């Protein structure tokens, strides 16, 4: 018997499609702008160790992760001259880890600049860093007063080679949002005040699609690499990366009134059939999909009925022939008929959260890897 025979559900990840998506972005921004890759959160849950080598082989030379541990993990599959930037920046006491693994911190505050400059001074070394300016996210980044202090006192950066000045957009998925242009202007102003000999970067996935004004010297595609739609009000220009299918464990014929699942939230009145599939919220199929999500069997949508259980999900398959919905058959959860973005909309969230929530019990298969 193989792992396939006993697997309850199957996650297929097309590394070739990730690489194709990266190339599409690279070609879109043109030769004057570098296409980096955002591979944090284990490539949005899809597996950094399998995907990052493919992107590197395609020519990607700058990778962004969130944490130092993520940086250490991908450094193992990347040559040392490739830039690995840590978006969370240095933590007190972790500067030596950053240096040892040739990781480039993104410095988000004067505190973090002080930590990194202090480590440079203590070790007598010059250290690369990116500087992150906050232009309207109010999350990580130097705000206007901090930028003014830095501009007035360049010695704060002693020992640091700033290789990138960056910011991040709050509303780039809404093309007409006034905040987009406000943040663009703020980025131009603040980065101009600093006047550092560093490249500039503003654009993550959706921002790239706002047009060339937003590209600057380097773009940071993330969600688009994994097939999510950067322009929710238009067709998705990206190739699909993820497919998720679950086995049907049992099909129940109903001919008397009954309720389905926890809390008895769904009632079956007429004749029908309910299929039980072998995945649930422990696999990342959110409880919010109860009585609102869909699966697909042979191209036909089948609605989720009842609440999502930890390991099981129930679908109304009454509209299908018995031979279509039978034990052992597969239900598409994400695939050609239903994108991760679609599933997200059914559950009241975004495709990003669908991907990062994908569980550990799937039989994972990678396609299109570099060999």
Q: Which positions make up the binding site for substrate?
A: 139, 310
CA angle 292, 296, 302 (to 5 degrees): 50
Quick one: 239 or 350, whose CB is closer to a copy of itself?
350
Q: Please classify residue 93 by burial: count the beta carbons closer than 10 Å to its beta carbon, then call 0-12 exposed, 13-18 middle and 19+ buried.
A: exposed
Site size for a copy of itself (CB under 8 A): 80
249 touches a copy of itself (CB under 8 A)? yes
Q: Are 36 and 106 in contact (CB under 8 A)?
A: no
Between CA 28 and CA 266 the distance in angstroms is 48
Contact map string, positions 257 to 296, toward a copy of itself, x by CB under 8 A: -xxxxxxx---x-----x-x-x--xx-x-xxx--------
Beta-bridge partners for 10:
245, 363
| 40 is known as an active-site residue | yes
198 touches a copy of itself (CB under 8 A)? no
DSSP at 38: E
DSSP 198-260: SEEE--BHHHHTT-GGGTTTEEB--GGGGT--S-TTS---SPP-EEEEEEEEEEEEE-S-EEE
Quick one: 33 or 344, whose CB is closer to a copy of itself?
344
With both helix axes pointing from N to C terminus, report the angle between 178-194 and 144-152 in degrees, rounded to the nearest 10: 20
Nearest distance in Å: CB 77, a copy of itself:
18
Between CA 12 and CA 28 the distance in angstroms is 27
167 touches a copy of itself (CB under 8 A)? no
314 touches a copy of itself (CB under 8 A)? yes
Q: Which of residues 131-160 bind a copy of itself (CB under 8 A)?
A: 134, 136-140, 143
Quick one: 54 or 222, whose CB is closer to a copy of itself?
222
112 touches a copy of itself (CB under 8 A)? yes
Quick one: 137 or 319, whose CB is closer to a copy of itself?
137
| 214 is known as an active-site residue | no
80 touches a copy of itself (CB under 8 A)? no
Nearest distance in Å: CB 66, a copy of itself:
4
Segment near a copy of itself (CB under 8 A), from 13-21, 152-160, 233-241, 350-358? 350-358
**Residues involved in catalysis:** 40, 262
């Amino acid at each position: 018997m193989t792992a396939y025979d006993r697997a309850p559900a199957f996650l297929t990840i097309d590394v070739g499609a990730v690489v194709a998506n990266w190339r599409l972005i690279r070609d879109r921004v043109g030769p004057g702008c570098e296409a980096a890759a955002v591979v944090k959160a284990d490539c949005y849950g899809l597996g950094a160790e399998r995907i990052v080598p493919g992107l590197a082989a395609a020519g990607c030379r700058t990778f962004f992760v969130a944490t130092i541990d993520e940086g250490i993990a991908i450094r193992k599959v990347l040559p040392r001259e490739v830039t690995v930037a840590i978006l969370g920046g240095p933590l007190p006491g972790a500067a030596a880890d950053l240096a040892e693994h040739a990781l480039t911190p993104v410095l988000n505050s004067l505190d973090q600049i002080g930590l990194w400059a202090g480590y440079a001074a203590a070790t007598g070394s010059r250290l690369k860093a990116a500087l992150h300016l906050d232009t309207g996210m109010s999350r990580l980044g130097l705000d206007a007063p901090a930028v003014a202090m830095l501009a007035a006192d360049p010695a704060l950066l002693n020992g640091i080679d700033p290789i990138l000045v960056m910011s991040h957009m709050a509303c780039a998925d809404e093309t007409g949002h006034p905040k987009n242009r406000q943040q663009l202007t703020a980025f131009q102003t603040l980065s101009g005040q600093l006047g550092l000999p560093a490249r500039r970067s503003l654009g993550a996935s959706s921002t790239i699609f706002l047009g060339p004004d937003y590209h600057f010297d380097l773009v940071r595609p993330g969600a688009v690499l994994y097939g999510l739609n950067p322009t929710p009000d238009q067709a998705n220009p990206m190739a699909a990366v993820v497919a998720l299918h679950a086995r049907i464990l049992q099909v129940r014929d109903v001919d008397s009134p009954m309720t389905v699942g926890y809390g008895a939230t769904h009632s079956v009145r007429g004749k029908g059939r309910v299929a039980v599939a072998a995945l649930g919220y422990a696999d990342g199929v959110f409880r919010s999909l109860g009585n609102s999500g869909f699966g697909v069997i042979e191209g036909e949508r089948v609605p989720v009925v009842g609440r999502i259980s930890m390991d099981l999900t129930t679908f109304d398959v009454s509209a299908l022939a018995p031979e279509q919905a039978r034990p052992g058959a597969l239900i598409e959860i994400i695939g050609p008929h239903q994108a991760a973005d679609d599933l997200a909309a059914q559950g009241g969230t975004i495709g990003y959260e669908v991907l990062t929530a994908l569980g550990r019990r799937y039989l994972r298969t990678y396609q299109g890897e570099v060999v």
